Structure 1
Amino acid sequence: MAIDEEHVRPDGVDDLTVEALGNISEALEAVEVARGHLYAFHRMSGTADLTLGKGVDQLREAGHTELADRLQTALVGRNVLHGRWTFQVVEEYDDGYYADFKQLEQEVRDALVAVRRHLYEAEMKEDRRTHGRPGHERRPDAAGG
């Protein structure tokens, strides 16, 4: 069976280091989920603004000009945060916190475990799987697929 070198702990790396890297990886995964929610917020806010614009146009066509004007000037195209539409929030997050987090997580793995990812999870898999049982293979190629 081929050894999965990219998920084998390098010599000299202790348990606490692997656990710490596992926590840092888990934190990055949470940041990725937060980023996804931020993009969902961006999409939903844009959809809301465009849909509101349609509703405002329909109010105006129906003769409710004063209410349509009020909505138009108060909400259509408005910043969601001071000076920012959501694309600017996404860009600031991506270029700042997110980029820094990804870079530093990579630097830590480079320095401590030669870029290997998910060592904690790989070791957990080895511990929890039933060796030799179908559906519990170490790698996909071990199952012939």
Structure 2
Amino acid sequence: MTRREDGPDRDHQRPDGVSGLTVEALGSLSKALETVERARGHLYGFHQLTGTADLELDRAVRLLRAAGHDGWADRVEMDILGRNVIPGHWTFQIVEAYDRTYYEPFRSLERQVVGELAAGRQHLYEAEMKEARRTPHHPDHIARPDEPTSGDDAPDPDPDPA
């Protein structure tokens, strides 16, 4: 990768001696971790939705009783309210087990690999992709948030080819 003065900040530049294949591998590892982050978010959504449903059952039981359906209220209360979602587990226990068994070891290993192979510099693959796709002097293609835009050098957004 050719480094330009207006290119990525030091934290997003490939350290000397790091190969393109290593950067690609780290990008793939990062993408896998991002997918795990999304899965974890869905797991928390499952946890919260299940908890919300369980709390709503209190209202359903109260309304069934008020409507004179004590038998059904008893069944909901005994058979569903507070029930394990899998044997011996409420959703918080599933979240904790996922974090402890899978998420935290994955996240820790990814940090170790990036630390060892890329001097702790994250998102090198994405930073190089951004650099390759930027249009020089375009105000919406600046390399860094602290880089001033230069509207005078920007291409006409609707050039007339005629």
Q: Could you tell me the TM-score, scaled by structure 1's length? A: 0.95
In the alignment, is residue 79 of structure 1 matched against residue 94 of structure 2? no
CA deviation after TM superposition for structure 1 residue 143, in Å = 2.5
**Corresponding pairs, count:** 144
Bigger radius of gyration among the two: 2
CA deviation after TM superposition for structure 1 residue 25, in Å = 0.2
- Residue equivalent to 1:11: 16
Could you tell me which runs of 5 or more consecutive residues in structure 2 were left unpaired when the two chains were aligned: 150-162
CA deviation after TM superposition for structure 1 residue 82, in Å = 1.0
Q: Which one of 39, 58, 67 corresponds to residue 53 of structure 1?
A: 58
CA deviation after TM superposition for structure 1 residue 60, in Å = 1.2
Q: Secondary structure at the match of 1:66?
A: helix
- Residue equivalent to 2:157: none
Q: Deviations over 1:92-112 (max 9, x none)?
A: 111220000100000100110
Equivalent position amino acid for 1:140 in 2: P
- Residue equivalent to 2:75: 70
Q: Secondary structure at the match of 2:139?
A: coil
After TM superposition, the runs of 4+ consecutive aligned structure 1 residues lying more than 6 A away are: none
Between the aligned partners of 1:131 and 1:59, the Cα distance in structure 2 is: 68
In the alignment, is residue 126 of structure 1 matched against residue 131 of structure 2? yes
Equivalent position amino acid for 2:148 in 1: A
Between the aligned partners of 1:117 and 1:139, the Cα distance in structure 2 is: 15
CA deviation after TM superposition for structure 1 residue 8, in Å = 0.6
User: Is the helix fraction higher in 1 or 2?
Assistant: 1
In the alignment, is residue 109 of structure 1 matched against residue 114 of structure 2? yes
Equivalent position amino acid for 2:60 in 1: G
Q: Deviations over 1:42-63 (max 9, x none)?
A: 1000000011121011101211
Equivalent position amino acid for 2:113 in 1: V
Q: Could you tell me the TM-score, scaled by structure 2's length? A: 0.85
- Residue equivalent to 2:144: 139
Q: Secondary structure at the match of 1:9?
A: coil
- Taking only aligned residues, the RMSD between alpha carbons, in angstroms, comes to 1.2
CA deviation after TM superposition for structure 1 residue 68, in Å = 0.9
Between the aligned partners of 2:38 and 2:80, the Cα distance in structure 1 is: 29
Between the aligned partners of 2:114 and 2:145, the Cα distance in structure 1 is: 24
Identity among equivalent positions (%) equals: 57
